[in-house]
């Protein structure tokens, strides 16, 4: 418990947490069940290349999402690249600036031009209205991200893509186990791409999956995932190595068995944060909105410095010194990262406002309600002593935003 500003670890006091509390600490399922699956893999001596565990995982993903086809891949970034190739995209792809940089990098990596759009202030999502403003004669696809385990406006985006005859892809890296009403994420657009990276709701160490209802696309993606091979010595397509291996698939299956436990832990954590921060001025938690299943994977706070009297970055610095490794995902916005920031970019005011305010707090099975109360006590303390802390740190808000090259008028 901090009594004075000098008690804060950032000014030499004792850390609240001896061991760091991370955003993205992996959720882990049953260890014995995983070991058993690994033993079976050893016994079969079949480690990768469309093995039985990968097939079992694909069947499970198809079952959970309701998609006709599910393809396990080595990670979501390569999954997005594969989809871009599979859909034979060219020219420009409209995507949100407020997303993990991999969304844009995957398009750029395969020779496409990511065209950044602003996002809705309230949802953090690419909306159809905003995406429409960025469509040009060179646009061949829209790539929208379901951020923070919440679906974006799939119906409006589907209508927009249809109207302009564009392909529609969803970056569903955060959205495994999420639904729109009764319909799970995994069946929208031409394809959706999940991530099973270690930090994700369900992890396979590294990994991902593509889901689609398009039979021809699925056929091509399967070839492309394995160098284009259709059999011994038979290459039918340009391809790469995007395969998931058996140990990753085993990890994903074991973790999928524990999805209910992970979801409950995340929901309880979010409720604990919400209750504890409800009366802290200027610190607002995003609340999952709409109907359907959520995985509550991220606890997303926004800090309004005009009300807190202390910047988001000062709060972050204090928390990190105390062992709370909160994050600013996806600061400063993909459009402000290389190579994009060195090119002309539009001004994206909503993205930049979110980037200046967002603070992602640790959740998942590694966080207990007691841990969360310690975190929220710290935030409450920092806000209560905002001016003193800001003065002691000699800081101003968002001082480190990289410059943006705007189009010449």
Residues that bind ligand T4K (CB under 6 A): 22, 24-26, 75-77, 99-100, 102-103, 145, 171, 173-174, 195, 197-199, 208, 325, 329
Handedness of CA 398, 9, 199, 224 (dihedral sign): positive
DSSP 3-state of 27: coil
Q: For tokens 């999420």, what's the residue? A: 178
* CB of 25 or CB of 164, closer to ligand T4K: 25
Judged by CB, which is closer to ligand T4K: 195, or 295? Answer: 195
DSSP 8-state assignment for residue 181: B
Pairing, β 229-231 against β 283-285: unpaired
Q: Report the distance separating Cα 142 and Cα 147, nearest Å.
A: 15
Q: Give me the count of residues in the chain.
A: 409
Q: Alpha-carbon distance 104 to 113, whole Å?
A: 9
Residue 26 Cβ, how far from ligand T4K at the closest point, in Å? Answer: 5
Please give the angle made by the CA atoms of 26, 32 and 33, to the nearest 5 degrees: 85
CA distance 367 to 23: 10
Comparing CB distances to ligand T4K, the nearer of 195 and 269 is 195
Least separation in angstroms between residue 182's CB and ligand T4K is: 24
Nearer to ligand T4K, 26 or 346 (CB): 26
State the nearest-atom distance from the C-beta of 173 to ligand T4K, in Å: 3
296 or 381: CB nearest ligand T4K: 296
- Shortest Å, Cβ 172 to ligand T4K: 8
Rounded to whole angstroms, the maximal C-alpha distance in the chain is: 71
Pick the closer one to ligand T4K by CB: 179 or 208: 208
**Nearer of residues 26 and 91 to ligand T4K, judged by Cβ:** 26
Quote the least distance from Cβ 114 to ligand T4K, whole Å: 13
Shortest approach of ligand T4K to residue 323 CB, angstroms? 12
Q: How far is the CB of 23 from ligand T4K (least distance, A)?
A: 6
Fill in the DSSP letter of residue 407.
P
When CB distances to ligand T4K are compared, the closest residue is: 24
DSSP string, 371-390: HHHHHHHHHHHHHHTHHHHH
């Amino acid at each position: 418990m901090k009594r004075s500003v000098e008690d804060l670890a950032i000014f030499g006091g004792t850390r609240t947490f001896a061991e760091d509390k991370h955003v993205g600490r992996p959720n882990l399922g049953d260890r014995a069940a995983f070991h058993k699956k690994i033993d079976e893999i050893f016994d079969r001596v079949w480690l990768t290349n469309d093995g039985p565990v990968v097939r079992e995982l694909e069947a499970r993903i198809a079952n959970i999402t309701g998609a006709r086809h599910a393809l396990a891949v080595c990670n979501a970034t390569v999954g997005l690249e594969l989809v871009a190739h599979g859909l034979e995209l060219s020219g420009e792809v409209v995507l949100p600036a407020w997303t993990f940089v991999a969304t844009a990098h995957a398009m750029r990596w395969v020779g496409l031009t990511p065209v950044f759009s602003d996002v809705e202030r309230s949802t953090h999502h690419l909306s159809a209205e905003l995406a429409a403003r960025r469509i040009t004669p060179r646009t061949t696809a829209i790539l929208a991200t379901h951020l923070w385990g919440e679906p974006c406006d799939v119906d409006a985006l589907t209508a927009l893509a249809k109207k302009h005859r564009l392909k529609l892809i969803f970056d569903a890296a955060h959205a495994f186990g999420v639904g729109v009403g009764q319909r799970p994420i995994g069946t929208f657009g031409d394809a959706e791409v999940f991530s099973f990276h270690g930090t994700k709701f369900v992890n396979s160490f590294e990994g991902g999956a593509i889901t689609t209802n398009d039979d021809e696309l699925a056929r091509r993606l399967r070839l492309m995932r394995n160098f284009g091979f259709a059999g011994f010595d038979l290459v039918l397509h340009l391809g790469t190595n995007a395969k998931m291996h058996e140990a990753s698939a085993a990890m994903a299956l074991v973790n999928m068995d524990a999805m209910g436990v992970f979801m409950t832990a995340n929901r309880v954590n979010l409720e604990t944060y919400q209750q504890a921060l409800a009366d802290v001025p200027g610190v607002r938690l995003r609340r999952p909105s709409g109907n359907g299943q959520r995985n509550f994977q991220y606890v997303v706070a926004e800090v309004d410095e005009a009300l807190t009297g202390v910047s988001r970055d000062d709060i972050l610095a204090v928390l990190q010194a105390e062992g709370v490794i909160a994050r600013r995902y996806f600061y400063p916005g993909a459009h402000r990262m290389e190579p994009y920031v060195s090119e002309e970019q539009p001004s994206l005011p909503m993205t930049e406002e979110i980037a200046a305010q967002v603070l992602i707090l640790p959740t998942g099975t590694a966080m207990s309600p007691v841990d969360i109360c310690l975190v929220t006590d710290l935030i409450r303390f920092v806000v209560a002593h905002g001016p003193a802390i800001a003065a002691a740190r000699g800081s101003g808000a968002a001082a480190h935003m990289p410059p943006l090259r705007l189009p010449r008028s």
